[in-house]
Structure 1
C-alpha cells in the first residue's frame, strides 16, 4: 500500500503511453490525443521517471517498446479499461444514459478546440447528444447564452452580457506577413508595421478584434494603414499569402497558417482572454455538468486552463466579469 499511496502516476501519462505504444509514433499519438508532441513526450518521460524503468526506445523511425514496456503496456491498458468501466457504471447510476448539451462558439473554437473535447466525451457518454452552433462573433454567442439557446459558450473577456465566466487561456494576436517579407528571424518593428498595407476584418460593432488592435496600437502612437476590409478570416489569410498586405489576427483564428506566411509578435505583445461562459446563476443539467468536467480534463491535458473544481451538478465556481 505504501508504494501505491506514494505514487504520482497520472491517467494522462498512461493514455499517452498507450497511444504511442499502439501507433509506434509520437506524432500520430499526439494527433490522436489532441495534444502537442512535446506534451506526449513529457508525459512518457515522467512516467518512466516515476517507475524507474525505460518503457520504450526512441529513434528516427518511431518508438519501440522495451521488454518491460510490453509488460507494463498490458497493465496500463487494463487500468484504462477499468477506469472506463467505472465511469460507465457511475453514469448509469446518475442517470446519464441520455441528454443533450448545447454549445455556442465561434468558428475558431469550434474547429480547433471542441472536436478534442467531444471525442473524449463520447467515449464515456455515447448516448448524450452534443450540438454546436457556430456564430460569427462573440457577442452573438453571449446573446445565445443569455436567451437560453445554449448551455455552454466560449467567449472573450470582458463580456457584454451578465454571465458566469472563467478564464481558460490567453491567445496572442500575431502579425501575418506575406512570404519573404522579413529576412531570417528578424523581429518586427513599429516602423516596419506602420508602412505595411493592412488587411482587416470589420471594425464596426458587433466585431471587436479590429477595435482592440487599433486601441492597442494607438497607445504607442501607431495607426493601421488599412488597404482592405473583409468579413472572413480565411479570406484575410489568402490575401496575405498572395502578397496583398499584412494582417493582425488572433493566432487561434488564423490557424492553420500556411507555412510560407511569416508570423511575428507585435513589438509590444497583445493577447485576448478566452473564457468559458454559462448563463448567470443557471442550474446545470447532469449532461452539461458532465461535459464541463470532460472539457476541464481535456483542456488541462492541452495545458490551456485550470478550471475551478465543480462542487455539484448545480453549482459552478465562477468569476463574474
Structure 2
C-alpha cells in the first residue's frame, strides 16, 4: 500500500523517507572563470519552526518547515544520500534549480525537473551551463537578486523547497533484487516536520561557475510513485533573525577563499563517465549573478594550485578518494 514519505529532522540533517539532505557551509567562489568544487566546511544547523512558537513569525508557524541561518552572500551546497533510488526536486523559491521551470509538484522528463538519486551526490547551484552550475548564494529578498525574482518577476517565497519521490513497489523490488538486498523498514529517531512553505527573508541568488554535472535520469517516470512523496520548506534566516528566534549564536562566518587558497587546502573534481549530463536550462543560463546585480564585493583572487585539486571519481567510475565533506 502506498503511503506518503515521512519527513524528519535528525540532528542537522533532513530525512525525506529514504533520502537524507544536509546543507553544507562552503567558500564562495569568484564569479569570473570556471572553478573546481570548493570544500565542505560543516553543516548548517537546522531547527523546526514549530519548536519556537513564541518567537518565530506567525506565518512561518502557520505553515511549518525548518529554518537555517546564513550570512548575506554566504554560499552553500546540498549533500544527498539515499538508501534506495529516488527523485529529489529542488526549488529555489518557486523555481526548479534543475529545469528553470516554475515549481511543479509532479515529476517531468521534458525537461527533467529533479535530481536522480542515488546517482547525484550533491548539488552546489543552479543548472546553468554545459557541465557546470552557478553557485547558490544567499541574498535578502526585495533586491531582485534572487533566481526567483529574475525568473518569475516576484519574490513571494524565497528559501528552498525539497520534494522527494520514491519508487513504485514493483520498481523497488526489482532494484532490491538486483542489489541482493532485503527491504527493511526505515527507523527514524527524531520528531516529524510539518511540510509546507512560507515567505522567509532570504533567498538564493546565482554565484560563480563551478564544474559540476546534473545527471540525466536513466529510469522511466513510471518507476516513480508520486503518492510516495514528501515535501518540506527550508526558511533561510539572516544571522540576526536566527538569534532572535532561537536565542542561539549563529555559526561564525566561514574562512574566506583567499586564506583557504594561501594555505594550500584541497579542492575537488568529480566526473562520472557512466552517466549523461543534463542539458543546461536556457532560463537559468540567463540568470545574472549576485555581483552583476548588487556589485562585486570579492576583489582580486589567487588562482588555485592544480596540485591541491583532488579527483573524487575517475573516468571509469571508481572512487579514488572520499574527501572530507
TM-score between the two structures when normalised by the length of structure 1:
0.21
Higher Rg: 1
